[in-house]
A and B are shown apart, each in its own frame.
Chain A
Amino acid sequence: MNAGVETDLKAEAEAFLIAEARLLDAGRFEEWLALFAEDGFYWIPAAPGQGDPLNHLSIFYEDKSVLGMRVRRLGHPRAYSAQPAPRTAHLVGSVTAAPGSEPGIDCETRSSVMVAEYRPGTSPGERRLWAGQQLHRLRRTPEGWRIVLKRVDLVDCDAAHGILAIPI
């Protein structure tokens, strides 16, 4: 593979990650959900370097159907923990991308992410910053890239947290 192709892949991955982050920041969760492949998973481990989601609890470990329930819940008028809706700003950087290493994965892209979160009505000390490393395993489809796995390793994944009602 020549350098030009890898540069293109990185640029494509970066554009995808930015578009994904904008959907989250805009609270367009249904469109965000549509970025997942039918066999896709969204995973935020609860231990640093967590090896698997079966033997250790996670903050999130959801396939597309459970994630679909989460998105539907967020649209409910009495989803109290998400009302008023949190506002977020994602910053995605330090992106690298490589071709997929197994069938069904066309690109593995790693990045760092910081998410500032504010819930209207809370006091200044309660504004939050989520930060960590992301791994996206992507599949190329006629409709565009689809997420087979989004994994976010938060720097404070094993700390005590308040409510995290929205996906980040």
Chain B
Amino acid sequence: MPDTIAPESLSRLVEPDRVHRRLYTDPAIFELEMTRIFGRCWLFLAHESQVAAPGDFIRARLGREDVIVTRGRDGRVHGLVNRCTHRGSQICAAERGNAGGFACPYHAWTFGLDGVLNSVPHRQSLPPGFDIKDPRLSLARVPRIESYRGFVFGSLAPEGESLADFLGPMSEVIDNFVDRAPEGKLEQAGGIARQEYRGNWKLHHENANDTLHPGFVHESSVSAARADKRDYAAAAYDGHQTHTQMLSNGFGAREWQGLALTGFPSGHTFMGGFYRGGVLAPDRDDPVWREYRSKLVARHGEEKTQRVLGEDRFNNLVYPNISLNAQYQQIRIVQPLAVDRTRVLALCFRLKGAPEALFHRAVRFLTNLSSPASMILSDDIEIFERVQSGLANPEPEWLDQSRGLGSDREQSDGRKVSAGVSELPQRAQYQAWLRYMTTAA
């Protein structure tokens, strides 16, 4: 039983400069993570634009729970566990759609968008005490749902810190994302990229702010982009974005060292941006961008526009399940499926009021970075799988994370910062892991 893992023995698995292989391989630890991390944290459920109209619904995964996020007739957002309260059948098979409610395919118990049981067949055969309004017969609900500027989070813990406290300074990323929209609104669009890998979920997060791996893992795509002598004027469909994205991993050690890395006690981490070319550069200047920028100036004025567009932070991880890249209108959702199996969803957004061509760039970014055929992510995923295979060996027991250990600087709000080429983000993630895991519910 997972709960028999004593906090003392868990605390022995994480040290400042190393973590134990069991964190990646032990199914009992995975089960405990589902309770103590995914059962406790605020997890991204959906964006409000995905359930914009009454009756809209979209499926989500909250730890181990298969959840239907709905917009009720009253305009409220609900999180309902996708399991009939009668005989346990899944009641919604569609990934998203619009419905008046949900009817179980087995015996036709029907539930409203708020999860309340509305009708059952053959009432006369039920005992007199059967009360259709008994809350225990309603679909199980996600205990807490809160939204921050359109990003809807859910928590499986009935009590705990507020979403605002959980996000802490990471709310700035969401603010920046929304402030980039000339109409102050985002709309999820362009589909959802889905990838699955045979490795632990934490491997994704460790990699996201690891600034030393790109020169090695992505060498083949950097090299292929550098060798390209073609005139890219022909490739107008792409604005050279693929080329730029592949080339950007070709920073030298000195350039990576120039990026700041940040980690919080909450496990949230981020790094400075590093896309420097063409339509992805922070100071990009092209007709689409100029049109977009003028619309943003009309909303915010010049000074705030400069501030909003000047924000250049990459892979903003809100531990443990969502990573945001506001300046490219992207998010990634990480769903642990088993100790050695993880699903990654990637989505992009339309900035309402911005030129459509800017949305097309976000779609292109999504395809380049998050498609199963991505020339970048595919090499990361290959490495996650090789790490998982390697860790099947019982020895050695420990994984090193000491790079840059002496150079972390703690600031007054508890955040630690360091120059790039440090494993500071990994250390921050595992300190948070340890705190969650050794705190019993």
Q: Which chain B residue shows the least CB distance to A162?
A: B196
- The interface-forming segment of A60-68, A98-106, A108-116, A134-142 is A60-68
- The interface-forming segment of A5-13, A15-23, A76-84, A87-95 is A76-84
A160 lies within 8 A of B194 (CB): yes
- The interface-forming segment of B84-92, B371-379, B415-423 is B371-379
B195 lies within 8 A of A160 (CB): yes
B242 lies within 8 A of A162 (CB): no
B195 neighbours in A (Cβ, 8 Å): 160-163
Of the listed residues A58, A61, A68, A163, the one surrounded by the most CB atoms of chain B closer than 10 A to its CB is: A163
Q: Which chain A residue shows the least CB distance to B362?
A: A57
Question: CA–CA, A159 to B246, complex, Å?
Answer: 25
* Number of interface residues, chain A, beta carbon within 8 A: 36
* Number of interface residues, chain B, beta carbon within 8 A: 46
Question: CA–CA, A165 to B372, complex, Å?
Answer: 8
Q: Which chain A residue shows the least CB distance to B241?
A: A66
B246 neighbours in A (Cβ, 8 Å): 69
Question: CA–CA, A77 to B150, complex, Å?
Answer: 45
What's the minimum C-beta distance from A50 to chain B, rounded to whole angstroms? 8
Q: Does A2 contact B (CB under 8 A)?
A: no
Q: Which chain B residue shows the least CB distance to A58?
A: B367
Q: Does A149 contact B (CB under 8 A)?
A: no
B343 lies within 8 A of A57 (CB): no
Q: Does B329 contact A (CB under 8 A)?
A: no
Q: What per-residue 1/0 map shows which CB atoms of A23-48 lie under 8 Å from chain B?
A: 00000000000000011000010110
Q: Which chain B residue shows the least CB distance to A47?
A: B191
Q: What per-residue 1/0 map shows which CB atoms of B217-253 lie under 8 Å from chain A?
A: 1011101110110101011011000110010000000
Q: Does A164 contact B (CB under 8 A)?
A: yes
B382 lies within 8 A of A69 (CB): no
Q: Which chain A residue shows the least CB distance to B347?
A: A57
B371 lies within 8 A of A81 (CB): no
Q: Does B275 contact A (CB under 8 A)?
A: no
What's the minimum C-beta distance from A49 to chain B, rounded to whole angstroms? 12
- Specify which of A58, A61, A80 is in contact with B382 (CB 8 Å cutoff): A80
Q: Does B142 contact A (CB under 8 A)?
A: no
Of the listed residues A68, A69, A77, the one surrounded by the most CB atoms of chain B closer than 10 A to its CB is: A69
Q: Does A127 contact B (CB under 8 A)?
A: no
Given A46-B371, A164-B372, are A65 and B363 neighbors across the interface (CB < 8 Å)?
Answer: no
Given A57-B371, A60-B371, are A69 and B191 neighbors across the interface (CB < 8 Å)?
Answer: no
- Specify which of A39, A57, A65, A159 is in contact with B230 (CB 8 Å cutoff): A65
A59 neighbours in B (Cβ, 8 Å): 367, 371-373
B372 lies within 8 A of A162 (CB): yes
What's the minimum C-beta distance from A34 to chain B, rounded to whole angstroms? 14
Given A57-B363, A58-B371, A61-B367, are A163 and B223 neighbors across the interface (CB < 8 Å)?
Answer: no
Taking Cβ atoms with an 8 Å cutoff, the residues of B that contact A are 189-191, 193-198, 216-217, 219-221, 223-225, 227-228, 230, 232, 234-235, 237-238, 242-243, 246, 343, 348, 359-360, 363, 366-367, 370-373, 375, 378-379, 381-383, 386
| Given A38-B234, A70-B375, A73-B221; 14 other pairs, CB 8 A cutoff | A44-B373, A56-B363, A59-B367, A59-B373, A61-B367, A63-B238, A65-B234, A66-B243, A69-B246, A80-B383, A81-B378, A81-B379, A161-B194, A163-B197
